Structure 1
């Protein structure tokens, strides 16, 4: 793959690194990656969309890759309010009045939060894995044992041993999650290493640890986001045109999770189960993501007219 130029833009808290493909005057589509991943997850989807005339923007989340905090005293948090506001502030910094957005895992959470907080800015949303907003104010409820077992890394990160383990073995832990969450996806060493360098960000460990402790009520979070977190904890409905994609082999986010929360989207929102895809759906089926964005009637109908997509 040819060398990719990384750009940066400044928001109130971050110097956000991002990559861009497509026509500068095309309608903007922002693709948000998850944990543990980076913008390479979108290579296939970005290629399809940019060829169709979209302006495709792929930011590195806080704590990943070249993205950096501006102030050394800013709390290194990964909580949902921070992720969603980062996305909206990224749009502000690029002077984007509206955009369509897609994300998975942490990226899906950022997209859902942004759509809730400022729906007028979001033309359309593709939520990979479904509604991903958490009630962090109420006592947590236990999940079925099989799902609790798959979340071993979250319980691990809620201990000091887990924090030290992620610091010492970040590549090994992240690779193990890749292997478990998309069981039929057989990636090679080069594919993993092209992303693993993003985990060397100096804030990666702290941001990851804080996110998983906050969602399990073991971290109070950044005081600046308290009121936003209170509002998000009411689990507001998403009032923008949306589509849910869910891989049928996703072991960490089972299918029932997105099905149960479809009422959190506006009436008529479609949920597509993508066969043969796991948690890392954009890597396995980039065409499914591109088709979902087009089917929400974005600005370039040529995306469908010029291409034939495999069945989803």
Structure 2
């Protein structure tokens, strides 16, 4: 999928015209890959190619505010709260006529995958999440952290100011490059790799979405009224019963929870994997085979779980 820029598709889904990569056989089992900030769908190029070779249909959309994804109406709110990315994902699956998929992601995309698995389990055949359980709430965001932990979130506080908004708008690529280096300190990405993703930050909606996302977390921006009910459910830290594999790189320089802190959120078939070799925050791009293997393995877990449920429904026969 290294030439995915030449093969990107578009589909109208909800309030968005979504730009996405679509690789692998169209009749293969679907995999939905969700990126975060400051990244784009190209984080999945290598992993998607590996999955396509195994017969999967791999869908990797650019999120609202990234790349060629656009709002269908100028009047749509440039909302970046956590729930909206999940409703975007459901609308995307609906637009493509896909009933369920293995859903996998990192950073914002991992949180979105968590939400889909928790609140739309019928659409989520299996679930792979880098850094585990990331569902949050404004109530959690209002609680202070120890000083060292607060330091790692410096950009969140920067974005809460108009100076930070202006600084990010003026320096999108430089900002992203800094985050790539600090979040993945041992990843020696080349300039072409960076520029391929940096092009996605030129979207006219990019700054609005990023700034709102981080301000909403701190309670410095309101969410969308229509999403209040979903956010209330998410504030309760719902459990996830669909088959899940969580992943963590051994050199993740971004803020992330320890695996033992979220184990109780997963109540179905579950496995956690630590990926060695200097792997940082963008695990799908830094360790694409480990990421692809986890997706194939969680799909197998889902089939086994389905077979087991079928046997139990028929009295164990």
Deviation at 1:266, TM superposition (A): 1.4
Q: 1:300 to 1:132 in 2, by over 3 A?
A: closer
Moved over 6 A (4+): none
Q: Secondary structure at the match of 2:103?
A: strand
CA contact (8 A) 1:52 1:300 kept: no
Alignment of 1:199-210 (within 5 A): 199-210=201-212
Of residues 3-12 and 151-160 in structure 1, the stretch that sits farther from structure 2 once superposed is 3-12
Deviation at 1:199, TM superposition (A): 0.1
Aligned residues: 300
- Counterpart for residue 183 of structure 1: 185
CA contact (8 A) 1:100 1:123 kept: yes
CA distance in 2, matches of 1:152, 1:241: 34
Q: Secondary structure at the match of 1:297?
A: helix
Of 98, 105, 115, the match for 1:113? 115
- Counterpart for residue 223 of structure 2: 221
CA displacement 1:25-49 (0-9 Å, x = unmatched): 1000011111000111001100100
Q: Structure 2, unaligned stretches of length 5 or more?
A: 304-317
Q: Structure 1, unaligned stretches of length 5 or more?
A: 302-312
- Counterpart for residue 251 of structure 2: 249
CA distance in 2, matches of 1:174, 1:102: 22
Q: Secondary structure at the match of 2:166?
A: helix
- Counterpart for residue 306 of structure 1: none
- Counterpart for residue 28 of structure 2: 26
CA contact (8 A) 2:103 2:126 kept: yes
Deviation at 1:137, TM superposition (A): 3.7
CA distance in 1, matches of 2:251, 2:257: 9
Q: 1:139 to 1:98 in 2, by over 3 A?
A: closer
CA contact (8 A) 1:54 1:300 kept: no
What is the TM-score of this pair, normalised by structure 2? 0.91
- Counterpart for residue 40 of structure 1: 42
CA distance in 1, matches of 2:27, 2:141: 47
Whether 1:265 aligns to 2:266 is: yes
Of 70, 73, 79, the match for 1:71? 73
Measured on the aligned residues, the alpha-carbon RMSD in Å equals 1.7
CA contact (8 A) 1:44 1:283 kept: yes
Of 287, 290, 296, the match for 1:288? 290
CA distance in 1, matches of 2:175, 2:118: 32
Q: 1:69 to 1:32 in 2, by over 3 A?
A: same
CA distance in 2, matches of 1:292, 1:274: 11
- Counterpart for residue 310 of structure 2: none
Deviation at 1:298, TM superposition (A): 3.9
Whether 1:278 aligns to 2:305 is: no
Deviation at 1:14, TM superposition (A): 0.4
Q: Secondary structure at the match of 1:212?
A: helix
Structure with the largest fraction of helix: 2
CA contact (8 A) 2:242 2:269 kept: no
Deviation at 1:253, TM superposition (A): 2.8
CA distance in 2, matches of 1:250, 1:157: 22
